[in-house]
Structure 1
Amino acid sequence: MKKIFVTGITGLLGANVVIKLLKDDYFVIALVRKKNGYLGEENEHLRLIEGDLLSDFSSHLKEVDCVIHIAAETRQNLLSYDDYKKINYEASIQLFSQAVSSGVRKFLFVSTANTLGFGSMKEPGNESMPQQYPFTQSFYARTKLETENYLLQNNKTTEVTILNPTFMIGPFDYKPSSGKIIFWVWKKKFVFYPKGGKNFVHVEDAANGIINAMEKGKNGEKYLLANENLTYKQFFKKVNEITGQSPVLIPIPGFGLVLLGWVGDFLRVLKIKSGMSSVNMKALRIENFYSNRKSMNELDVQYKPIEKAIQDAVDFFENR
């Protein structure tokens, strides 16, 4: 039975990856800050180890075939590049170095689609396109890209494959994280939406893509885990159809988002944490669209309709 080391298992993607690994008869060694923070089911093939990302895991990695590194600093309100770099770059490189020294065969780094260039509905972004503004100014996306570049320059001993998921929706979003977008519209009478859009993917499909990449992912390659390109209005309409609602949808004027971005920038100058910034508000006004062709062809990922992801997320939230 192959042993897999996984980080980030208390998050949406990590929780689904662990469920799938255990179902596929892998033995999982998973990092958690505190064992009581893991809300999934216990399993004889799941070993939880306590620590933080800057700990030394060499003793655990010596028995591991593959590392799946999902954990990251994703909060959008931190004030400096260094706030993200410590976890997203420095801790990732340290874990990779330990994996190499321990003889791990493969290192899967879960990044973000926003290290790659986005496109339009007709010509979506792909793995060969360079990062674009506003994500070139995003501390989170920049640290992820910096880590990708290091790993791909040092993949001679331990193989490296990069996974770039888009916006994930689905079950086991305990916090919730990206599932918050459903609460923007669910049980509301009025819904304000930005005029941009993004690519949405079922988190189970993203998890399948990661697990398939352990054997099918090529050394030195990046793979977008992506599915449906939708405007925010289109996505909210799908949520309404699934939940049986009919709120009034009201577009947010572009200048309104620009103004909110300026306010957020001013708060940040005053060292006040805010999710608002010119960069984040610009991200809501663009068509942040991507192609899944490469992951379908090379990782054999079969993507489910986004309606299934929304339904699964709603069911999870209702039954918690």
Structure 2
Amino acid sequence: MVLLLGASGLLGHHVLRLLLERGQDVRVLLRPGSGLLPEAFPERQPQILHGSLLHYATLLRAAEGCEAIINCAGTTDMSLKRLDDYFPVNRDLPRLLCRVLDETGISTLVHTSTANTIAPGTREHPTDESAPFAAPFDRSFYAISKKDGEQVLLDHASEHPERRIVIVNPGFMLGPFDPKPSSGKLLLAACRRSLMAAPCGGKSFLHVRDAATAIANALQRGGSGRYLLTGEALTLPEFYALQAQVCGYRQRFIPLPSPLVRLAGRIGDLLRALGMRTMLCTRNTDQLLVEEWYDGSRARRELGLPQTPIAEAIRDFFAWRDSRSR
């Protein structure tokens, strides 16, 4: 039995589907009020518990009889205004999970962090897991909280070498089963627009199914430490050109000048100071100007991370949305 946290999110949904397809018994702990997409169940069904992820007794009860824990839960909302808003799930939950490991004797934990706790390199010289935490992400409340959560687990792993604490650091994940949408907002923002304006930064895109495969494989493969889960490194102009090609429309892309992007961030800072909730702020807009090039060779080698073309992730996202609208 595997305990899965965060099963209602995009990544957690794909991890759940994959584990069930592999015949794995899965127990999921869902926050009150959250649920699973009906498409989560191919043939088998998970055990479903409801309760707070931040309540130790609830976590302990959920972990009873399990051989491993996968944590895909995270607070990702970039409009939150305080660092403390991110800490409960991104830092304090890992602390609680360490206590659960101590109490239950469970020896395997797979934890999802983010590639942004690792400084990106260049297209010619992408960075690996040894790179430090650096600007502009060291100003991001989300990345700071995720980095703190990683450190909790790395310290625990060093104190308990008999346990496997696998931390995965995914890039920008895209794919189907994204009803909110979450990362799919990037796709919808430009879909079938004749004119698209955006910054010229870049991301390491990967199919969410590939990330889920590496996570599921980590139950048996890999060792303690961090694994970058990355796919195709594309600038936003390259990405939107690919999307237009995949979806069959013509689009003119206008690159937003860096000073204009920074000005938008400063306006967002002012709006936040006036009490308005917005994703715009310099901490967030500065990230849009960075090209996030990473080396995911360790995960490919040790966790069997697939490398599905990102065009397929784009195609899968829109095919799934179309199927739901019929």
Structure 2 length normalisation: TM-score?
0.94
Number of residues paired by the alignment? 317
Aligned counterpart, 1:52 = 52
Give 1:95's aligned residue. 97
Encode CA deviations 1:50-71: one digit per residue, 9 max, x unaligned.
1121122212312111111111
Specify the alignment match of 1:133 in structure 2: 135
Aligned residue for 2:208? 203
Counterparts of 1:237 and 1:100, CA distance in 2: 50
**Per-residue CA distance 1:124-143 (angstroms, 9 max, x = gap):** 12100001111101111001
Structure 1 stretches of 4+ with a deviation exceeding 6 A read none
Match of 1:115 among 114, 117, 130: 117
The answer to whether the 8 Å contact 2:109/2:164 transfers is yes
Cα offset for 1:290? 0.8
Residues in 2 aligned to 1:302 and 1:86: alpha-carbon distance in whole angstroms: 32
Aligned partner of 1:310 in structure 2 is 314
Q: Are residue 167 (structure 1) and residue 169 (structure 2) matched?
A: no
Mean Cα displacement is larger for which, 33-42 or 23-32?
33-42
Equivalent position of 1:106 in the other structure: 108
Q: Aligned partner of 1:139: which letter?
A: F
Whole-angstrom distance in 1 between the partners of 2:196 and 2:323 = 24
TM superposition shift of 1:237: 0.6
Aligned to 2:191, which of 177, 180, 186? 186
Q: CA deviation at 1:212?
A: 1.0
The one-letter code sitting in structure 2 at the alignment partner of 1:268 is: R
Q: Which residue of 2 aligns with 1:177?
A: 182
Which residue is 1:264 aligned to? 268
Whichever residue aligns with residue 18 of structure 2, its letter is K
For structure 2, which runs of at least 5 residues remain unmatched after alignment?
A: none
SS of equivalent to 1:161 = strand
Q: Quote the Cα distance in structure 2 between the aligned partners of 1:173 and 1:182.
A: 11
The whole-number CA distance in structure 2 between the counterparts of 1:311 and 1:258 is 32
Mean Cα deviation higher: 37-46 or 183-192:
37-46
* CA distance 1:172–1:88, change in 2 (3 Å): same
Question: Offset of 1:302 from its aligned partner?
Answer: 2.2
Distance in 2 of aligned mates of 1:289 and 1:113: 10
CA distance in 2, matches of 1:210, 1:70: 10
Quick one: which of 248, 252, 258 aligns to 1:244?
248
For 1:254, give the aligned amino acid.
S
* Separation of aligned partners in 1, 2:134 and 2:241: 28
Counterpart residue type for residue 152 of structure 2: Y
My pick for the range that moved more, 264-273 or 144-153, is: 264-273
Question: Counterparts of 1:42-81 in structure 2 under 5 Å?
Answer: 42=41, 44-55=44-55, 56-81=58-83
Paired AA for residue 277 in structure 1: C
Given residue 12 of structure 2, which amino acid in structure 1 is its aligned partner?
G
Shift in Å, 1:35: 6.9
RMSD: 1.4
Unaligned runs of 5+ in 1: none
> Would you say the 8 A contact 1:100–1:158 is kept in 2?
no
Q: Is the 8 A contact 2:53 2:59 kept in 1?
A: no
